[in-house]
Structure 1
Amino acid sequence: MTTVEQAEKLILAQVKDYGDETVPFEQALGKVLAEPIKADRDLPPFNRVTMDGIAIKYQAVENGICTFHIKATQAAGDVPVEITDSNECIEIMTGAVLPSSVNTVIRYEDLEMRAGLASIKVEGIKQGQNIHVQGADKKQHEVLAASGQLVTPAIISLAASVGKTHLLVKKMPKVVIISSGDELVDVHETPSPYQIRKSNSYTVKAVLQQHGLQPDILHIPDDPEITKAQIQQCLLNYDVLLLSGGISMGKFDYIPQALEDLQAEKIFHKVAQRPGKPFWFGRYQDKALVFAFPGNPVATFMCLHRYFLTWLNTTLGLAEQSPVYAVLAKDFKFQPPLQYYLQVKLNSNLQGQLIASPVEGNGSGDFANLADTEAFLELPMERDDFKQGEVFRIWKFV
C-alpha cells in the first residue's frame, strides 16, 4: 500500500504549468502573480507630511524663534505654498506635499494657536520630524511585489497605488467536482430515510473558492455506462477531476473500472492513512489529473487539504510553506498501522506554543465535528500510542 509520503511525492511529480493570463487587478485576489509589480514613481512620490500641524524652516528654531505667523493653510492634494521669511509657517495637513522652503513639521499637540500665530510649547523639536521622505519606501522602477506571490488585499492595494489596472497571473487549472451515488439528492430536496444530501461537492467547492478556483459540479448516478460516458467527457474537458465517492470495493463503485476502461493511468490506489485510505490518483494522457477521494465527508476534506491543495500551490509556483507543528493536549491511542489524521482544536499557551486538543468523532462520516475543529494532526503510522506534550505536524483548514 502506498504511504502518505510516497503519495505526496507521486502527486507532486504531476505538477504542470497551465500558463498565464491577464486579469483586471480587482479580480486577481487569490491568484498568483506571474510578473513583478514595480513602482511607477518614487514611494512616497513627494516629501509627505505625516502629522497635522505647521511646517517651518528648522533654522528658525535654531535662531530662537518660537512663534510663527501662519501664512496659509495647505491640505492634502493642494499645490504647495512657500514661505519667504523664517518667522512664517504653513498650517499643513497629513498627506500634504511638504513645500520646498520648509523642512520640519510640528504637530498641533505641541503648539498654541491664536490669532493667526502658532507658538511652540515643547522642547526637543528635531529637524525633519513628521516627514515621510520621497522615495523612502521604494524608488521608481523598484519591485514592490515579486512574481510568484499570492495576490492578497495588500497586493491589490499596491497594484492600485501604482496604476496597475491589469495583472499577469498564473492561470488556474479548470476543475470539476464529481459526486456519485443514487443515495445522494440535491440540497433543496427532502431526502428519504435512506438518502442524504450532496454536501461533499459544496464543501469542496467552498474550499477551492477560497483558493481562487471556480470549479464546476457534476453528479453521476450508479450506472456503469453513464459513469463511463460522463467521466470520459470530463477527462477531455477539464484539467483536474476531483471525485468524491465510488472508488472503494463496493458493488456499485464503478469509477475505478470506468477510469481503467478509458485508459486513465492509475498512479496509486489506497494510501496507508485514516481517514482516506481508498484514495485513487491518476492521469489521463497529458490532459487531466484525477483525484478520486473516498465519499466519507471527513476523508474527502482531509485528502483535499493534504494532497490537492499541496499540488495546487506547487503547480502555481507558490513558495513552499514551512510545516506547522502543535503540541498534543492529551494522550491518544490509535491501533491500525495507518497514518492517522486527528481532528483538533487549536489554542496557544502562555509560552507561545500551539496546543492541539483532539476532538474525537465517529469516524470519517462524522462531518459535524469539522465545524468545531481547525486542523488535522498528523500522527505517524509507526506508532499507536501518542502522549500529551509530544509535537506533531498539523494541517490547518481554518
Structure 2
Amino acid sequence: MPELILTYAEAAAVVQDHASILLGQKPTAESLPLLAALHRVLAEPILADRNQPPFPRSTRDGFACRAADIAAAMPLRVIGQLRAGDVWKAAPLATGEAIEIMTGAPVPAGADCVVMVEHTKVREDVLFVEQGRILGAGENIVPSGAEAQAGSIIVDAGTRLAASHIAAAAACGYANLPVCTRPRVAILATGDELVPIDHAPLTHQIRNSNSYSLAAQATLAGAQPFILPVAGDSQDEIESSIGSASGCDLLLLSGGVSMGKYDFVEQALRALGAKFIFTGVKIQPGHPVVFGKLPQQYFFGLPGNPVSTMVTFLLFAQPLIAALSGETAGGPRFALAHLTHNFRTKPRLTRFLPASIDFKINSPQATIIPWQGSGDLASTAAANGFVVIPPDAEQLTAQDRVSVLLV
C-alpha cells in the first residue's frame, strides 16, 4: 500500500472534511434535566419564550423621569418607588414627576430615561439633578425585546453547552433540554509489552497508560469510551479485537502503526476492508498516525508512545468526536502566547512540544518543558499545553509569538 503522508495543515483539512460529512448526519437525541445537559451538545435550538427583557428595564439605581424635564433643569416631584419585581400601577408619569427606581425594575409608562442616583439630590420628595447633567431619551434603559424577540434563537443547535447556555435556557423556561447522544468510542491498545495498570511490570514491560489517557480525553471531548482488552502483537488477535468494536462509532487504536517488524495494526485493518485516508503526518510527536474508515466506522491508528497518543488525539480524533457528537465548532483549540526563552529546532516537521503556559491577562507566556521524547509522561504531566513549532522554523527567540495547542 503506498504511503499517504500529509503535512499537518493537509491532514487537519482532511479530518475536517470528514467531520463535515458526519455533521450532515443528524445524531440521535435524548432529553436531560437542565443541569445534566451541561457540556452536552444541544440537539434543537433554545428559543426565547417571550421578549427579553419583557419590559423596559432600568440599568441603574436612580430616578425614572423625562429627558425633556432634565434638559429644562426643573425640579421634579418624586411620586413613588419601584424595585425589581414591582409594577407601577398608578397613572403614567407626567411632566415634572420622577419615580425612584432600582436596577432591574420595569421603567413606568411616561418615563423615557433614568438618571443615576449619584447625579441627584432629594430634599422633601423633590429631585434635583446636578447642574449641567443632560440625558437623552432611552438613557440607562434597555427597551423591551432589545436582547431577544419572542421566538428568536438564543442558542443554536450543535452548541456544546456551557454555563452561559444553561443560564439562557433557564431564563427561557427550559427545565429539560434535548441533547445529542454521546458517541461511543472503542479504545484498543496493542503491544506485547503492555500489562494492566494494577500489575507490577517486569523490566521489559510497561503499564497500559494509553487506554486510560485516551478514555480520559474521549470523556472530556464528550464521548462515551469503551476500553477493550489489550491486543498482543499478532495480526489475528488485533483483527479479532477490532471486530469486537463494530458497535462503536469510532475506533482508536494505539501502538503498532510504525514500521517495525511486529507492527501489525495496518495489516489487520487492511484485511478487514479498511480504506486508508492518510498513513502519516509530518509532525512530531505523532508522525505515524493513521486515519481511515472501516465498513462500520472511522478509525485512527495512533502511535504507541504516550505523548504521541495524546497529541494526535487532540489534533485529529477530538474534532471527529465533536462531529459525531453533533457539535458544529469542534477543536482542536489553539491560543497565542509569547515564548519566554530562545529555542533551536530542526525544520521540516510541525512540532508540538509540551509547555507550561502562564495565561496572563495581557500577555500569556509559554515555556517549553525539557523532555526526553514522546515517551516522557513525567514531563508532559507538568504541561498545560503544547507549543507549536512551524515546519520552517530553525530558531525562535524569547518573546516571539507562538501558537499553543490547548489540552
Preserved CA contact (<8 Å) 1:342 1:379: no
Q: Which residue of 2 aligns with 1:80?
A: 88
Deviation string 1:159-208 (CA, Å, 9 cap, x unpaired) is 22222445455555321222234544444555455444333233223333
> Residue 311 of structure 2 aligns with which residue?
302
Q: Given that residues 255 and 305 in structure 2 are in contact (C-alpha distance below 8 angstroms), is that contact kept between their aligned partners in structure 1? A: yes
Tell me, yes or no, if structure 1 residue 241 matches structure 2 residue 217.
no
> In the alignment, what sits opposite 1:208?
218
Structure 1 contact 177–243 (Cα < 8 Å) conserved: yes
* Map 1:372-391 → 2, pairs under 5 A: 372-380=383-391, 385-388=394-397
Q: What is the CA-CA distance between 1:69 and the residue it aligns to?
A: 4.0
- In the aligned structure 2, how far is the partner of 1:233 from the partner of 1:95? 58
1:68 is aligned, of 66, 77, 80, to: 77
Larger displacement relative to structure 2 (221-230 or 42-51): 221-230
Alignment of 1:369 with 2:395, yes or no, is no
Q: Which runs of 5+ in 2 are unaligned?
A: none
- Corresponding residue for residue 360 of structure 1: 370
Is residue 2:7 matched to residue 1:4?
yes
Deviations, residues 205-260 of structure 1 (Å, cap 9, x unaligned): 333333322322223142645433222010x2111011222333456544334323
C-alpha separation between the residues in 1 aligned to 2:360 and 2:84? 46
Other structure's SS at 1:237 match:
coil
Q: Does the residue aligned with 2:253 lie in a helix, a strand or coil?
A: strand
CA contact (8 A) 1:344 1:377 kept: no
Instruction: Evaluate the alpha carbon distance shift between residue 166 and residue 257 of structure 1 in structure 2; reply closer, same or farther with a 3 A threshold.
Output: same
Which residue among 86, 90, 113 is the counterpart of 2:99?
A: 90
Which of the numbers 152, 161, 169 marks the counterpart of 1:142? 152
Q: 1:242 to 1:191 in 2, by over 3 A?
A: same
RMSD (Å) for aligned C-alpha atoms: 3.7
Determine whether 1:263 maps to 2:270: no
Alignment-derived partner of residue 49 in structure 1: 58
CA contact (8 A) 1:330 1:358 kept: no
Match of 2:297 in 1: 288
Structure 1: runs of 5+ lacking an equivalent = none
Query: 1:332 aligned to 336, 341, 344, which one?
Result: 344
Confirm or deny that 1:394 pairs with 2:397. Answer: no
Letter in 2 for 1:158: A
2: CA distance between counterparts of 1:183 and 1:226? 15
Residues 120-171 of structure 1 deviation map (CA, whole Å, 9 limit, x = unaligned): 2523152443222112223333333344444332222222222244545555
TM-score by length of 1: 0.80
- Answer whether contact 1:183 1:195 (CA < 8 A) is retained: yes
Pick closer, same or farther for the CA change 1:288–1:378 going to 2, 3 Å.
Answer: farther
Alpha-carbon distance, 1:89 to partner: 4.0
Q: Which moved more, 1:293-302 or 1:45-54?
A: 45-54
1:31 positional shift: 4.2
Q: Distance in 2 between matches of 1:202 and 1:319?
A: 22
Give the Cα separation in 1 of the matches to 2:191 and 2:159: 40
- How far does residue 317 in structure 1 lie from its aligned partner after superposition? 3.3
Cα distance, 1:206–1:120 mapped onto 2, change above 3 Å: farther
Q: Which moved more, 1:324-333 or 1:89-98?
A: 324-333
Please state how far the C-alpha of 1:293 moved relative to its aligned partner: 0.7
Residues 70, 184 of structure 1: alpha-carbon distance in 2 compared, 3 angstrom cutoff? farther
Contact 2:334–2:406 (8 Å) recurs in 1: no
1:3 alignment partner AA: L
- Structure-2 residue corresponding to 1:342: 353
- One-letter code aligned to 1:198: N
Letter in 1 for 2:46: I
Instruction: Identify the residue that residue 227 of structure 2 maps to in structure 1.
Output: 217
Q: Quick check: 1:359–1:373 contact (8 Å CA) kept in 2?
A: no
CA distance in 1, matches of 2:100, 2:16: 61
Distance 2:330 2:15 in 1: 17
Distance in 1 between the 2:332 and 2:351 partners? 22
In structure 1, the residue corresponding to 2:215 is in which secondary structure?
helix
Question: 1:53 deviation in Å?
Answer: 3.1
Separation of aligned partners in 2, 1:122 and 1:392 = 50
What's the offset of the Cα at 1:88? Answer: 5.0
1:23 corresponds in structure 2 to: 31
In structure 1, the partner of 2:243 is 232
Asked if 2 retains the 8 angstrom alpha-carbon contact of 1:105 and 1:131, the reply is yes
CA–CA distance in structure 1, aligned partners of residues 293 and 98 of structure 2: 73
Separation in 1 of the partners of 2:45 and 2:14? Answer: 31
User: Given that residues 182 and 224 in structure 2 are in contact (C-alpha distance below 8 angstroms), is that contact kept between their aligned partners in structure 1?
Assistant: no
Give the TM-score taking structure 2 as reference length: 0.79
In the alignment, the residues of structure 2 paired with residue 65 and residue 319 of structure 1 have an alpha-carbon distance, to the nearest angstrom, of 58
